[in-house]
Structure 1
Amino acid sequence: MATSSHNVDNVVRTLRESLKTLGFEVYPFKIGWYNAVVSQAHQLKYSADTLAVVVLSTPSMFENSFLPFLQRCSWKDIRDPVDQCVAHAISTCVSEHFSDQSVDISYDYEMQSNRKPKFLAQTAAHVAGAARYYQHTDIENPPWGNKKMFGVCIHPRLGGWFAIRAVLVWKDVEVGKELQQVPPPDCVSSQEARIKLLEKFNYNWQDWTYRDIVPTEESYSTRQREYFITPPAQRGALLRQWGFIPETETKTVNNI
């Protein structure tokens, strides 16, 4: 197993240079960091020092990657355009730059045979220092008592205007002390703000106001908001209205 810092630096730098212009961010972490904070059922089956990377999509992904993908894709086998756009971008990067290395790719929408997710996306983003995962355990004397409240990641520059898309594992690259774990920025630091965040996310997530819990450098464009606000079953019709699906296309456009 390779252990030099050059290998780690090269992997991260190459990924960032390849994916940044497409609207993605890349953050490395050790498998052991992730496995230390999840249950045994969710642990990733690699050695603790194995190099992994979490990939986030930023708001610019929509215009820089998704819309161009729609213009050139064939609609015969399209199920979810966003998922397939992300998979195309990441798999192309890996095949072009790491064809001689063993890389496992897991996407946020993939499930194991037992119906558990292949990885816990928000935990991966947190341990990699990409975005802080705020949960009910971060609240002292929560006003909602023992009621279950789902947690949410907040990015220090993008707030909630991002998505966690994939985890990549370099099976033959082991990380040494050159990669130190850095906690994600605590950008929602007050108890009042944390309560507001979790309540907005759990009770009113559809209005998206939780995404603006902190000042942001970038958010979704008008067209991107229209796409994601549209129910999945109607997005095909929206894409046809935008001119991305030919009128002659016979494939049903529902549920894509």
Structure 2
Amino acid sequence: MATSSDNVDNVVRTLRESLKSLGFEVYPFKIGWYNAVVSQAHHLQYSADTLAVVVLSTPSMFENSFLPFLQRCSWKGIRDPVDQCVAHAISTCVSEHFPDQSVDMAFDYEMLPSRKPKFLAQTAAHVAGAARYYQQSDIQDPPWGNKKMFGVCIHPRLGGWFAIRAVLVWKDVEVGEELQRVSPPDCVSSQEARIELLERFNYRWQDWTYRDVVPTEESYSPQQREYFITPPAQREALLRQWGFLPDTEAEAQTSVNQC
């Protein structure tokens, strides 16, 4: 196991420098921080001091990474082109910059054979200090009785205008005291605001107003909003309308060969 702080700093710095221009943010954490707050069934099977990072996509990912990806590649038969784009960007970064290191990658859409997600995305973002995970347990006197209310992460600069995309684990890198856990900023601090956030997210998530619960530096562009409000089954037609999908099988095959 490599344990030097220089190695840890190099991993995080290299990832950030490589992925920032593509619209991603990177936050390191120890596996033990994550395992301490999830059930045994959701533990990540690594030693407590193993280095991991959570990768978020920011609003600029759409223009900086996704649209260029559409121009380069064909994803015929792929479930979701955004998922394919994110996996391509992150996998390429890891293979180019860490070819001799053992890195496990788990993406937010991947499931285990048990049908559990490979990792709990919002918990990972919270323990890494990237975004605070507001849950029903954060409300002192919940007004909903026994009704289940789902929690949601809020980013201090982006509000809800981001997505948690992946967790990467450096299996051979252990972290010492040089990596200190930092709590995510409590940007929705009042009980009233937290109640409003959870109600917006649980009852009116489709209007996206929960994303603006705090002032934000950046949000989705009009084109990005149109893409994500379009039902998944209709997005292929939208991309074809935008001119990002090839019209013929021959053109599609050419795109595959260039990807």
- Normalised by the shorter chain, which TM-score bucket? over 0.9
SS in 2 for 1:153: strand
CA distance in 2, matches of 1:29, 1:153: 17
State yes or no: 1:192 paired with 2:192: yes
Provide the residue aligned with 1:113 in structure 2: 113
What is the aligned partner in structure 1 of residue 45 from structure 2? Answer: 45
Q: Hey, what does 1:176 align to over in structure 2?
A: 176
- What's the counterpart of residue 256 of structure 2? none
Shift of 1:74: 2.2
1:87 pairs with 2:87: yes
The 1-side partners of 2:79 and 2:108 are apart by 15
Deviation sequence 1:24-55 (CA, Å, 0-9, x none): 00000000000000000000000000000000
SS at match of 1:181: coil
- Report the residue type matching 2:132 in the other structure: R
Deviation at 1:77, TM superposition (A): 4.4
1:33 maps to which residue? Answer: 33
Deviation at 1:193, TM superposition (A): 0.1
TM-score by length of 2: 0.95
Residue matched to 1:156 = 156
Moved over 4 A (4+): none
Q: Deviations over 1:52-106 (max 9, x none)?
A: 0000000000000000000000244433100000000000000000010000000
* Aligned pairs (5 A) from 1:5-16: 5-16=5-16
Q: Pairwise mapping of residues 1-256 of structure 1 onto structure 2 (< 5 A)?
A: 1-249=1-249
What is the CA distance between 1:249 and its match in structure 2? 4.0
What is the alpha-carbon distance in structure 1 between the residues aligned to residue 94 and residue 11 of structure 2?
10
**In 2, Cα distance between equivalents of 1:76 and 1:221:** 26
Instruction: Point out the more displaced range, 54-63 or 141-150.
Output: 141-150
CA distance in structure 1 between the partners assigned to 2:71 and 2:78 by the alignment: 13
Q: Which amino acid aligns with 2:127?
A: V
Deviation at 1:146, TM superposition (A): 1.4
Counterpart code for 1:92:
T
Q: RMSD of the TM alignment (CA)?
A: 1.0
Alpha-carbon distance in structure 2 between the residues aligned to 1:199 and 1:114:
30
In 2, Cα distance between equivalents of 1:229 and 1:135? 25
Identity of paired residues, percent? 88
- Equivalent-residue separation in structure 1 for 2:212 and 2:77 (angstroms): 36
SS of aligned partner of 1:106 = strand
1:254 corresponds to: none
Question: Offset of 1:246 from its aligned partner?
Answer: 1.8
1:57 partner amino acid: S
